[in-house]
Structure 1
Amino acid sequence: MTMVTRTLRAAAIGAIVAAGIGAAGIGAAGIGATGVALAADYTLNVNTALQPQDPLFKGLNAFKENVEKGSGGKIAVRLFPGSQLGKDEDVLEQARAGAGVAVVVDGGRLAVYTKEFGVLGAPYLASGYDGVRKVVTSPMFETWVEKLRKAAGLQVLSFNWWQGERHLVTNVPVRVPADLAGIRMRTPGAPVWMETIRAMGATPTPMGWAEVYTAMQQKVIDALEAQSPAVYNSKHYEVAKYLTKSGHINLITGVVTSAAWFDGLPADLQALVRDEALKAGDIASRGTEASLADYEKQMQAKGMTVTEIDVTPFVEATKPVYEKLGYGELRVELNKFLGN
């Protein structure tokens, strides 16, 4: 997509949002689920690629309810699953332009504005939610938040929305990196994701999440990598035979909005929105933790083979990614911080 096309698309999305169109969004018309009228002083439209049945969406519902209630109806929050407002990059552009939109987004897509965010998507950075949460609630992380504000006009509300560890989803069994040779694997287009998949042995193929099922079905790609809830809820078990638990990326995401929109809120509402985003992120992440085993069982019941492997060869293969992308020193700093 060219820059002109992206700008026109983003402008179109902004016009739709500003006009209040988009009745498919949850709570998008009339009175919201918590009884808050859409004539609120401020409206925040939150976009996510995930579906409402994803455990992370429970956190978004909690965020909506608690912000609307805590603000006394001054803020209305509308949720748009399935990327109804467009791709993450397009919504980020709208946020940069000052629209009242937010998006659940990974650090890789923010790294184009503030490089440090990219390390959050680097391979084998931390162990589970508790490990990566320590990073994204640290004073170090807040310095990245401020850099992002200055560089791109984007405001992080919280970044503790853990979607699980990402695994390999293929039609051939995988044990070691050599098994991925020649396999075209879908991944987001951010450099840290692309380099990780390349280092693991596959050929990275960026495309939108909504396109993956059809691309697998039509053999445009051979494989993908994703967390278990997303694989199940998008029914990728219908087009792939194997889920190999490589856990190569600990997928932590955040709710990111417009700095201009955020700065237009009174100070008490700014604090409310950030506090509730952090609380809701914990709800979402703990729900994800509790759901993972059940998702694996359900995929196995659908005929998918779920395999545990020794990830050591993948850990070793992906170590050069940090230096290649200029994260070597930051990796050392984070290792010390995490006690690795």
Structure 2
Amino acid sequence: MNFKRSVFKFTNFSVLAGSLFFMGCGEKDKTTDTQKTRVIKVSHVFQTSEPTHIYISEAADKINEKLKGEIEFQVYPNGELPSYKDAIELVLRGSDFISVVDPSYIGDYVPDFTALVGPMLYNSYDEYTAVTSSDFVKDLEKQAEAKGIKVLSLDYMFGFRHIVTGKEIVEVEDLKGMKLRVPSSKLWIDTFNALGANPVAMPWSETVSALQQKVIDGTETTYSFMSNSKLYELRKNVSLSGHFLGTGGVYISTKVWDSFTDEQREVIQEEISAAAIRNNKKIVELDESFKSDIVKNGMKFNEVNKVAFQEKTKKVFDEFPGFTPNVYEKLQNEILKVRNK
């Protein structure tokens, strides 16, 4: 009887051990299968309805289709993953991660990237894309690579920014003492200080209520935000300063980039660049649509004295920490090449 019990126990143990072994093998195989596809997480702060998200997602879908089983791009909008400075730090650490953010955020490592998106530089989207294709910017990209940041694109534009107030702003003097909401950015704050305004740094989420309560006199933003946030219900004048061009860059760790095959790199670069072109075409269309909407709702446009605005903001380039001496002149030379064609 004891012998039978022992045999029974041994047999049960053998079956259990065998089951665990095969389960373990199954888990191992599962892990191996998962590891075959390398996941790259793509982070940005744009809403899902905005062109940058739409076209970055399109690029990701095409990359995933072409590199199926090898690499999978997963896009996270609305700041769901670390963004801004935190995102660039993840890139620098060599994470399987892509950040889509304003070039000024890699300006912390190569300061002239901040100058690239400095105040009162561009009159059109084409001027900006011509400059990003120049030898001057290609050299900046090499400097970024030396720091560990591979620039895949600088060209995901989302519009020029203009000044929204209750009155016309034509001359620089018209801004004197005006409380204008700006992002919490040294570049923005320095720019509006140079123009004689009183910049008030606050999140966009607080801007509408601040306008309603007259905590601020106005704000600066793009046509899309004027329309989507119904700013026409709060302020009626848009002064066409075009003081900044909103644009996003796409960045990945050089370690991660170098770990891809030549074919993988070619596919990724091709799709990211092509999607930027589609994004920018859409932005031109949307600009007209948003302008039409805000005019229909009572907003009025006026031109500003851009030469005077440029003269006042030039000192931002001269005084900003880390900028290369004469970087303003270098950028102007590149822009003039486009204007003189």
Alpha-carbon distance between aligned partners in 1 of 2:244 and 2:146, rounded to the nearest angstrom: 28
Which residue number in structure 1 is paired with residue 327 of structure 2? 330
Secondary structure of 2:68's aligned partner = coil
Matched, 1:225 2:220: yes
Task: Give the alignment partner of residue 266 of structure 1, picking from 261, 266, 277.
Answer: 261
Say if 2:187 is the partner of 1:201: no
1:1-340 correspondence runs (5 A): 41-151=37-147, 153-217=148-212, 219-325=214-320, 326=323, 329-338=326-335, 339=337
1:255, CA displacement in angstroms? 1.1
Shift of 1:158: 0.8
Post-superposition offset of 1:220: 4.9
Q: 1:115 to 1:287 in 2, by over 3 A?
A: same
For the pair shown, the structure with the greater C-alpha radius of gyration is 2
Range 230-239 or range 157-166, more displaced: 230-239
More helix per residue: 2
Q: Structure 1, unaligned stretches of length 5 or more?
A: 1-36
Q: Residue by residue, what CA displacement relative to the aligned partner does 1:242-297 show, whole Å, maximum 9, x if unpaired? A: 32211112233211233333233223212222222111111111110122111011
Return the alpha-carbon distance in structure 1 between the equivalents of residues 50 and 85 of structure 2: 21
Shift of 1:84: 2.2
For residues 289-332 of structure 1, give each alpha carbon's deviation from its aligned partner in whole angstroms, at most 9, with x where no partner exists. 12211101112334433434443332232222222224552222
Note if contact 2:170-2:302 (Cα within 8 Å) is conserved in structure 1.
Answer: no
Q: Deviations over 1:14-67 (max 9, x none)?
A: xxxxxxxxxxxxxxxxxxxxxxx9977222222222222223333213211221
The one-letter amino acid of 1:334's match is L
Structure 2: tracts of 5 or more residues without a match = 1-32
* TM-score of the aligned structures, taking structure 1 as reference length: 0.78
Compute the TM-score of the two structures, normalised by the length of structure 2. 0.78
Show CA shifts across 1:92-117 (max 9, x none).
Answer: 22222222232221222221111110
How many residues were matched structurally? 303
Give, in angstroms, the shift of residue 131 of structure 1. Answer: 0.8
Kindly state the Cα deviation for residue 231 of structure 1 after the two structures are TM-superposed.
3.5
Equivalent residue letter for 1:336: N
SS in 1 for 2:326: helix
Structure 2 counterpart of 1:102, one-letter code: I
- CA distance in structure 2 between the aligned counterparts of 1:74 and 1:208, rounded to whole angstroms: 39
Q: CA separation of 1:305/1:50 partners in 2, compared to 1, >3 Å: closer, same or farther?
A: farther
Q: Aligned to 1:63, what secondary structure does the other structure show?
A: helix
Question: Distance between the aligned counterparts of 2:208 and 2:85, measured in 1?
Answer: 21
Letter in 1 for 2:327: L
Amino acid at match of 1:90: D
Paired position in structure 2 for 1:22: none
Paired residues of 1:124 and 1:248 also in contact (CA < 8 A): yes
Aligned in 2, Cα 1:238/1:49: closer, same or farther, shift over 3 Å?
farther
Aligned-residue identity in percent? 25
Structure-2 change in CA distance of 1:327 and 1:242 (3 Å): farther
- In the alignment, which residue of structure 2 is the partner of 1:15? none
Contact 1:108/1:190 (CA < 8 Å) preserved in 2? no
Instruction: Give the 3 Å change call, closer, same or farther, for CA 230–100 of structure 1 in structure 2.
Output: farther
Aligned-pair CA distance for 1:156 = 1.3
The one-letter code of the counterpart of 1:131 is E
Is the CA contact (8 Å cut-off) linking 2:116 and 2:331 kept in structure 1?
no
CA contact (8 A) 1:128 1:164 kept: no
Cα deviation digits, residues 127-149 of structure 1 (max 9, x gap): 31111111112232222122123
SS of the residue aligned with 1:156?
A: strand
**Inter-CA distance 60–218: structure 2 relative to 1 (3 Å threshold):** farther
Taking the aligned partners of 2:312 and 2:109, their CA distance within structure 1 comes to 28
Q: Is the 8 A contact 1:121 1:192 kept in 2?
A: no
Distance 1:337 1:121, change over 3 A: closer
- Give the CA RMSD over aligned residues: 2.7
